[in-house]
Amino acid sequence: MTDLPPLNSLRAFDAAGRRLSFRAAADELGVTQGAVAQQVRQLEAHLDVILFERVPKGLAFTSVGRSFHSRIAGVFADLRAATAELKPEPNKVVVSVTPTFAAKWLIPNLPDFTAAHPDIDLRILATDKVSSFHSDGIDLAVRQGSPPFGASLDVTLLFKQTLIAVASPKLAGLGGHPLDPETLSKRSKIHDTHDLWPSYLAFLGVQDRSPRGLRLSQTSLAVDAAIAGQGVALVSRFLVAQDLQAGRLVEVGEMWEASGNDFYVLIPRTAKNSGPVSEVMSWLKARSAEDT
């Protein structure tokens, strides 16, 4: 640590470099212009280099000063960001959801949430990865699966996994009417990573007789492909409720309750009574009940 320059000198250099003015740097730091200039001179003496050229309108970097400042400024920016993350933000709520849940249900319903809770800063982390409540700063998470999820978590069911087969009404031969199982088995199918078509067709009592289907990594992409007329997708009904209502999709197969892979909201037991988090939780439950 003895090789490091004094912190006050580095702060003065960072501010002076961002503003290229001792006076402006002094205003930012709440000290005198002479104090900033002295700290910079001490830093130059410590490093044995010239960092600034004094020009009539302020300061100009030397080549060494510019290179050094780019590194120092980045370090101070990281320090400010790290400090800001530690400061309590009482109205901030971070919710972790899958990209499909975010795109097809949460974001379309955000206007309703914002109208009901204008003071809550809701931040959405959309990822398929398992997020950590502690290290990722997550307040609550919506996940698909089966309990138990952990003794430290409070778990609430949001949606049952109610699957339906959907397709664009313009898809040739559909005519907007449900298909009998044999006809559905021959239609081109859109698959996602859940790969539930074999189980669904077994539920209907038929085998897949369709040509090779389209395979996509996310359910939201499968929904978009179905809207585009690329085939029949198998999705949770609540995820396409708005598309069905708008006529972008129609149901073409029997509804199936696929047990064991429902949608739950998870929250640490130690945080479930927090004001804003509790309000988000209540809104999620009420809004999902309306859709159910």
Long-range Cβ contacts of 50-54 (<8 Å, 24+ apart): 51/13, 51/17, 52/16, 52/17
Kindly report, as residue ranges, where domains of CATH 1.10.10.10 are found in the chain.
7-86
Which homologous superfamily is 162-257 in?
A: Periplasmic binding protein-like II (3.40.190.10)
Indicate if the pLDDT at residue 226 is higher than 80: yes
Please name the fold of domain 92-160+261-291: D-Maltodextrin-Binding Protein; domain 2 (3.40.190)
The domain over range 7-86 is classified in CATH as 3.40.190.10:
no
Q: Tokens 């009482």 appear where? A: 90
Strands 92-97 and 121-126: parallel
Burial class (CB in 10 A: 0-12, 13-18, 19+), 201: buried
The three-state secondary structure class of 161 is coil
Q: What is the pLDDT confidence band of residue 135, given thresholds at 50, 70 and 90? A: low
CATH 3.40.190.10 range(s) for the chain read: 92-160+261-291, 162-257
Confidence of residue 1 (pLDDT cuts 50, 70, 90): low
CA 52, CA 73: separation in Å to the nearest integer? 15
Beta-carbon contacts of 127 under 8 Å, excluding residues fewer than 6 positions away, are: 96, 98, 99
Q: What is the pLDDT of residues 275-287, one digit of tens each?
A: 898 899 999 999 9
- Give the tokens for residue 207: 């085998």
pTM more than 0.75 = no
Is residue 121 within a helix (H) or strand (E), and if so which, with residue range? strand 121-126
DSSP summary character for residue 236 = E
In order of 53, 70, 76, the CA distances from 6 in angstroms are 21, 18, 14
Q: How far apart are CA 61 and CA 68, in angstroms?
A: 10
Residue matched to tokens 């073409």: 252
Read off the pLDDT of each residue in 170-184 and give the average, rounded to a whole number: 75
